[in-house]
Structure 1
Amino acid sequence: MLMRSLYLQWLPNFITIGRLVLTPAAIDMIVGEHWRAAFAIFVLAGASDALDGWLAKTFDLRTDLGAVLDPIADKALIVSIYATLAIKGALPPWLALLVISRDVLIVGAVFVAWLLARPMDLRPLPVSKATTAAQLLLAAIVLAGEAFAFPLGEATSLVFAVVAALTVASASVYLWRWVKLMGPDDVGA
């Protein structure tokens, strides 16, 4: 009974680790231009993100490890997919650079805060959740367009703009929180 309980407690973490494992598989499929397989793997990875979060919240299976692994898995998937899609010409390089820069900024800020013994609150902000959802949706749209050979058209430019705006807004909020956290200890005293 205890062993089954431990497995259940760790189920969301196992799903998150699975998403980490799926990331290089999706990248390999994109590089090889196996677009349908890349799309299927990406959808599976996205579904796993929703599933692990739902399980953790619904059944109170949250763990400290999961709180760290989940954003790492999200960032690994998004950064890898955006970089590869830009290299393959399926996504504008400026957008990929913006998305990747935001994640590098966040990871760098968390690392510096940790080095200075001023750890940041790692709970995702609403703007961050919206940004991640929009970034994942755009990647799915681009992959589906490649997989099923349908033209993305002008509406895609609007989605690019929404993703860019959310990415800049999210980066700005994190940067503001980080600057506030790194300020003098006696500010506002």
Structure 2
Amino acid sequence: MNPKHLPNLISVARILLVYPVVSLLLQQRFGAALALFVVAGLSDGVDGFLAKHYHWQSRLGSYLDPLADKLLLISSYVALGWLGLMPVWLVGLVVLRDLVIFGGAVAYYFMLRPFEGQPTLLSKLNTVLQLVLVFAVIVRQGIAPFPAAVAEALLWLTAFTTLASGAHYVQVWGSSYWREKQRQGPDAA
């Protein structure tokens, strides 16, 4: 095995952790779910470090890494919402944001070309807050005391950044689309 494939293998392993994390959450085995959730989070940092530090980035990795993140986050939000531990409106907002971003990327691809965007600082902040909120909700389930006021603040910050980052992507892609269409002229199909 070529070491440059290690980041992609770690991303695949993170994808494979989604089912056990969700299964443990639904069984309300919160300690074990939290342990796997932390392992998945740490593996995200490891694969990113390896890819950047050793220049082992790949096109496949550019798809696998965010896919692994989104699968873990969305699945965790849905499971926690199912258990009544996460507000349904927030679960819907998180899922809707990602559907809008994915739909926008697909539409942009078919209408113009692949979108060459990178995650924005706001989007990265949103991902961190989403992860921290899942962590906090799981920890509050008897693993360790976690102040309710902090969890409530995290919830509202996560909701705000979810809305703001989703709107920002729509604005960026929409502006890029209209600039490109104007550059192509009125005869562009």
**Is the structural similarity TM-score above 0.5?**
yes
1:186 and 2:182 are equivalent in the alignment: yes
- Partner of 2:48 in structure 1? 53
Deviant stretches of 4+, over 4 Å:
none
| Deviations 1:148-172 (CA, angstroms, capped at 9, x unpaired) | 1535412211111111111111101
1:20 aligns with 15
Partners of 2:31 and 2:140 lie apart in 1 by 10
1:66 counterpart residue number: 61
Gaps of 5+ in 1: none
> What is the aligned-residue identity percentage?
33
Q: Which moved more, 1:122-131 or 1:149-158?
A: 149-158
The 2-side partners of 1:129 and 1:82 are apart by: 17
> What is the match of residue 90 of structure 1?
85
Residue correspondence of structure 1 range 142-157 to structure 2 within 5 A? 142-148=137-143, 150=145, 152-157=147-152
Name the TM-score, length of structure 1 as normaliser.
0.91
CA distance in 2: counterparts of 1:130 and 1:188, whole angstroms: 35
- Is it true that 1:78 corresponds to 2:107 in the alignment? no
The answer to whether the Cα contact below 8 Å between 2:136 and 2:146 also exists between their aligned partners in 1 is no
Residue type at the aligned position of 1:181: S
Structure 2: stretches of 5+ with no match in the other structure: none
Question: Is the 1:127–1:166 contact (alpha carbons within 8 Å) kept by the matching residues of 2?
Answer: yes
Q: Report the CA distance between 1:182 and its aligned residue.
A: 2.8
Q: Over aligned residues, Cα RMSD in angstroms?
A: 1.7
Per-residue Cα deviation, 1:84-118 (whole angstroms, up to 9, x for no partner):
10110111111111111111111111111122232
Alignment-derived partner of residue 128 in structure 2: 133
Q: How many residues align?
A: 184
Is the Cα–Cα contact under 8 Å of residues 97 and 162 in structure 2 kept in the other structure? yes
What is the deviation of 1:83? 0.8
The aligned counterpart of 1:11 is 6
SS in 1 for 2:118: coil
Secondary structure of the corresponding residue to residue 100 of structure 1: helix
Q: Supply the distance in 1 between the matched residues of 2:107 and 2:181 (Cα, whole angstroms).
A: 16
